[in-house]
Amino acid sequence: MSHIELELESISVRLAETQAEIEAAQALRYTVFYEEYDAIPNAEMVADRRDFDEYDAYADHLIVVDSSGASDKIVGTYRMLQRSGADQVGQFYSSSEYDLSPLLKCGSTLLELGRSCVLPDYRTRPILQLLWQGIADYISEHDIELMFGCASLHSTDIKSISKPLSYLHHYHLAPETIRPRALKGRYINMDIIPQEDINARRVFAELPPLIKGYLRAGSCIGDGAVIDEQFNTTDVFVVVQTHLLADRYRKHYERKIQKNIPGSDDAENNVQELSAFKKTKES
């Protein structure tokens, strides 16, 4: 089990250590995804009031813990699935939307992120900073080279999101060697508007904050989008070269925490859409 444990007053960020903590994280996911965002759970999830699947048993669960009350309260979580865990299940979760062959063949150590959520009252910059630093420490500890998952645009009307999809395709398409493609039958073409007709600065400003944060960190996008009917979103595949993420976020946030400064514009933007990187894919 990792030594990751970071403190900010009564808030800590660490890996879940017990089955009870994992189940509490699953209950939190249910609250956020199905009750707050109106996703559609299956009957078993409704009965248990937990969001869970077969991948949970093979993943590490980063949790945000509030210790200010009589008992610890899990207020945020992020699921992290390494290739060894995916092999136990048979595939990565995002394989249900994308052909991951380029990533699986590239020789890099991989980490799939998903199931991220934080309770509304805790969606603050300092807490998100701790969460990001926890991810960065995990990446460093396990020598992760590529991190990936699905980020969402909050519409299934492709026409209404044609500008952001086209912008991502023209300006941030991943190199072919690490470019997953949406599965046949689910593939939505992102090359809708010609590049010369896109106001890149304006479209970037209107992207979901989490996607903007990853792009600022040097991440890139897979080929094709996928409509997620369960969550009423359109997913894009995000690939992050982790050395860029670590350089941009970990060092920056570490300095902020040490100086007791609330945060940066990037953190403020990202906190609004923490759940956008919600799934790979969530269900």
pTM given for the model? 0.83
Specify if 141 maps to a domain.
yes
Report which listed range, 37-41, 63-67, 114-118, is most confident. Answer: 63-67
CA distances from 55 to 82, 86, 88, 112 (A): 11, 7, 9, 11
Specify if 226 maps to a domain.
yes
pLDDT tens digits for range 227-256: 999 888 899 999 998 887 656 655 554 554
**pLDDT at residue 205 above 50?**
yes
For residue 282, what pLDDT is reported? Answer: 38
Specify if 45 maps to a domain.
no
Measured in residues, the chain has a length of 283
Token pair, residue 38, equals: 């109106």
Mean pLDDT in the chain?
86
Specify if 63 maps to a domain.
no
For residue 168, what pLDDT is reported? Answer: 99
Contact 168, 195 (CB under 8 A): no
124: containing domain: 81-277
Specify if 218 maps to a domain.
yes
Number of separate domains in the chain = 1
Specify if 246 maps to a domain.
yes
For residue 208, what pLDDT is reported? Answer: 84
Contact 147, 178 (CB under 8 A): no
Specify if 147 maps to a domain.
yes
Question: What average pLDDT does the segment 267-279 reach?
Answer: 46
Specify if 100 maps to a domain.
yes
Question: What average pLDDT does the segment 68-97 reach?
Answer: 95
